[in-house]
Chain A
Amino acid sequence: MSPTPMPGLTNMSREHMICSKCGEGFEPQEKIVNSTGQLWHQQCFVCAQCFREFRDGVFYEFDGRKYCEHDFHVLFAPCCNRCGEFIIGRVIKAMNASWHPSCFRCEMCSIELADTGFIKNGGRALCHECNAKVKARGLGKYVCHKCHSIIDDQPLKFRGEVYHPYHFTCTACGVELDANAREDMNELYCLRCHDKMGIPICGACRRPIEERVVTALGKHWHVEHFACAKCEKPFFGHRHYEKKGLAYCETHYHQLFGNLCFVCNQVIAGDVFTALNKAWCVNHFACSVCDQKMNQKTKFYECDLKPVCKKCYEKFPAEFRRRLRRQHEAATPKKASTPT
């Protein structure tokens, strides 16, 4: 639509030519405007609204009349509901307004909607995906990142997105996945295959350990499942004691297995004297009568399962010793009474 004055036509049977606007003929030396096969006086080829010449010769035609760009826009062109500018070219009519194709976007994710279509949701234009998300959120459900429809059952989380599990198959065995599938090294596996991939199994709950692993007693454990066999409190890295395939906390190990010193009642850290159904720490293994320290080599007598050194035993009343001896013989009939 760019008409150009045609001075070259001036000599062509000028007497038969008339101006399309005023119907008058042209003077012999007058410039004639030729546009789309029609002729005008130069002063007649003007905007039908402002009667001024077309700037750069650009005009718009409507209903057989020509308008300059400005007046055409003012009179006929739609304004974009977003940027407020006139819309030249393709106009998107939607939501009771007009839009540049590049201005009509999803109100949530801002994707252009001109070619994909949109859904009106609570007075907003949304793309299909965002609409599904909004709807799913309303129902407390996820939207599948692949098919964009609501996930009714358990979703599968993979690389930070949620999906219908059935869009995927196990990397190892190819079986269609369910929500129990596990991600490992950015691949998806069914639970069976994942369990078999050298991932440790907790000795307590028999489930795979995906976080920190404790290895003890020849087994693997969830940190929170490696606990004292007596009080069931997890060790959480504290020292544990093993006995017959079970682990115990310090307190219960000593309570159960008797490694508390009979005298100080403290846990025995170093060497242990064990005798007479009791234990002593090195500092407290002593005669129960005179408190004199004894060692492994000291011979001692037993009285009510307490150690008595030879010197003290000999100071016991004779009748008491007699009775103790008789008792000892009664308890161990074949052996003569001797210090242990």
Chain B
Amino acid sequence: MSKAKKVLEEARELQNPEMDLCDRGIGTFEELSGLLNMTYITRLTLSHNKLKSVPPGLANLTNLEILNLSNNLIEELPLSLSSMPKLRILTLTINRLYNLPRGFGAFPVLEVLDLTYNNLKDSSLPGNFFMMETLRALYLGDNDFERLPPDIKNLKNLQILVLRENDLIELPGEIGDLPRLRELHVQGNRLTILPPEIGNLDMASNKSVFKFEGNEWVPPIADQLQLGVSHLMDYLRSETYRVLYSRYQTNKPPVPPPCVDKAKKVSRIR
């Protein structure tokens, strides 16, 4: 009997609603016979395994609130995941996703979506991706986005937005419309300038975090960041900046090259 089977047996006997199957060398869900019938489970953690795909039947676990598939080899997700009625936290850190299924944004109660360290780009997101109004935290760090759509303003409950180490050339001004945003990570991108709407955010308070290092900021922004985030926020709201921003928009200086070498990412399928 494999390690995973043993854990499953034990869990079934205890009727434990929290299922930990971390680092069990699991290659496919087929090794986990009976798992998809254990509908009482509320958490399933399958981190550090070798899963390549997720069966649509996983959505049978209708009581599941937390699904953690960190550090696997997943290349594709079934659309059925987004119909899981209680799923609140979905973690897909360190996988090999290039795309998300169409209609993926249909999750009824998803609060935290962690897609850190995959291969997602602008065209990977389905049309309804930003319809997830219940989303509190969206982790898109370590992917290949160059731009985000203005639809992002629909994520009215978003408090945390991580875009660390993508290829972002610019940020949509609509980020300034997210009233509850208190964590914004944009380190390691190709940003040069910020939309003035970012000045609407309360990023200078002690409850907020703004991470910005490793970009090609224009000198006025770099200067303000040197002084502190509160200086930057004041500057973004100023008339001076508005003029500078519109001039910049018309001149369209060349886009800086990617500043992070992500060729060696293990998420790439070779």
Chain A residues close to B by CB (< 8 Å): 257-258, 262-263, 265, 277, 288-292, 303-306, 312, 315-317, 319-320, 323, 327, 330-331
Interface 9-residue window, one of B25-33, B55-63, B248-256, B258-266:
B258-266
Q: How far is the CB of B174 from chain A (nearest CB, A)?
A: 22
A331: B residues at CB distance < 8 A: 187, 211, 213
- Is chain B's binding surface mostly helix, strand, loop or mixed? loop
B188: A residues at CB distance < 8 A: 323, 327
CB<8 Å pairs between A and B, sample of 25: A262-B112, A263-B66, A277-B182, A277-B207, A277-B208, A288-B91, A289-B68, A290-B23, A290-B45, A290-B47, A291-B18, A304-B164, A305-B160, A306-B114, A312-B71, A315-B23, A315-B48, A315-B71, A317-B117, A319-B264, A323-B188, A327-B187, A327-B188, A327-B213, A331-B211
Let me know if B183 and A305 touch, CB within 8 A.
yes
Chain B positions 82-124 with a Cβ under 8 Å from a chain A Cβ: 88-89, 91, 93-94, 111-112, 114, 116-117
Q: A116 vs B47: C-alpha distance in the bound complex, in angstroms?
A: 103
- Asked if B167 lies at the interface with its beta carbon under 8 angstroms from chain A, I say no
In this complex, what residue of A is CB-closest to B213? A330
In this complex, what residue of A is CB-closest to B117? A320
Let me know if B68 and A327 touch, CB within 8 A.
no
Chain B positions 19-47 with a Cβ under 8 Å from a chain A Cβ: 20, 22-23, 43, 45, 47
- Asked if B144 lies at the interface with its beta carbon under 8 angstroms from chain A, I say no
Chain B positions 160-180 with a Cβ under 8 Å from a chain A Cβ: 160, 162, 164-165
Q: A89 vs B265: C-alpha distance in the bound complex, in angstroms?
A: 126
Q: Mark B11-23, 1 if CB is under 8 A from A, else 0.
A: 0000000101011
Q: Mark B146-171, 1 if CB is under 8 A from A, else 0.
A: 00000000000000101011000000
Q: A319 vs B165: C-alpha distance in the bound complex, in angstroms?
A: 13
- Asked if B129 lies at the interface with its beta carbon under 8 angstroms from chain A, I say no
Knowing A277-B209, A289-B71, A323-B165, the reply to whether A316 touches B94 (Cβ < 8 A) is: yes
Q: How far is the CB of A190 from chain B (nearest CB, A)?
A: 48
Let me know if B266 and A291 touch, CB within 8 A.
no
Closest 6 CB pairs of A and B: A317-B266, A291-B45, A289-B70, A319-B264, A290-B22, A304-B162
A290: B residues at CB distance < 8 A: 20, 22-23, 45, 47-48, 68, 70
B207: A residues at CB distance < 8 A: 257-258, 277
A291: B residues at CB distance < 8 A: 18, 20, 22, 43, 45, 47, 66, 68
Interface 9-residue window, one of B135-143, B191-199, B234-242:
B135-143
Max chain B C-beta neighbours (<10 A), residue from A291, A303, A304: A304
A303: B residues at CB distance < 8 A: 116
In this complex, what residue of B is CB-closest to A303? B116
Let me know if A305 and B209 touch, CB within 8 A.
yes
Count the A-B residue pairs with Cβ separation under 8 angstroms: how many? 90
Knowing A304-B185, A327-B188, the reply to whether A289 touches B47 (Cβ < 8 A) is: yes
Given A327-B187, A327-B188, output 15 extra A-B contacts at Cβ < 8 Å: A257-B207, A277-B183, A289-B70, A290-B22, A290-B48, A290-B70, A291-B22, A292-B20, A305-B160, A306-B139, A312-B70, A315-B48, A317-B265, A319-B264, A323-B188
In this complex, what residue of A is CB-closest to B65? A264
Q: A281 vs B98: C-alpha distance in the bound complex, in angstroms?
A: 35
Q: A117 vs B177: C-alpha distance in the bound complex, in angstroms?
A: 81
A316: B residues at CB distance < 8 A: 71, 94
Knowing A317-B265, A327-B213, A331-B211, the reply to whether A289 touches B43 (Cβ < 8 A) is: no
Q: A291 vs B139: C-alpha distance in the bound complex, in angstroms?
A: 17
Q: A289 vs B188: C-alpha distance in the bound complex, in angstroms?
A: 22
Q: How far is the CB of A103 from chain B (nearest CB, A)?
A: 81
The answer, among A305, A312, A319, for a CB contact under 8 Å with B48, is A312
A292: B residues at CB distance < 8 A: 20, 22
Q: How far is the CB of B93 from chain A (nearest CB, A)?
A: 7
- Asked if B78 lies at the interface with its beta carbon under 8 angstroms from chain A, I say no
Q: A323 vs B187: C-alpha distance in the bound complex, in angstroms?
A: 11
Knowing A258-B207, A291-B45, A316-B94, the reply to whether A330 touches B265 (Cβ < 8 A) is: no
Let me know if A319 and B265 touch, CB within 8 A.
yes
Q: A19 vs B25: C-alpha distance in the bound complex, in angstroms?
A: 156
A327: B residues at CB distance < 8 A: 164, 187-188, 213-214
In this complex, what residue of A is CB-closest to B211? A331
In this complex, what residue of A is CB-closest to B66? A291
Q: A319 vs B112: C-alpha distance in the bound complex, in angstroms?
A: 25
A289: B residues at CB distance < 8 A: 47-48, 68, 70-71, 91, 93
Q: How far is the CB of B119 from chain A (nearest CB, A)?
A: 13
Q: A291 vs B42: C-alpha distance in the bound complex, in angstroms?
A: 13
In this complex, what residue of B is CB-closest to A265? B111
Max chain B C-beta neighbours (<10 A), residue from A257, A291, A327: A291
In this complex, what residue of B is CB-closest to A320? B117
Q: A290 vs B49: C-alpha distance in the bound complex, in angstroms?
A: 11
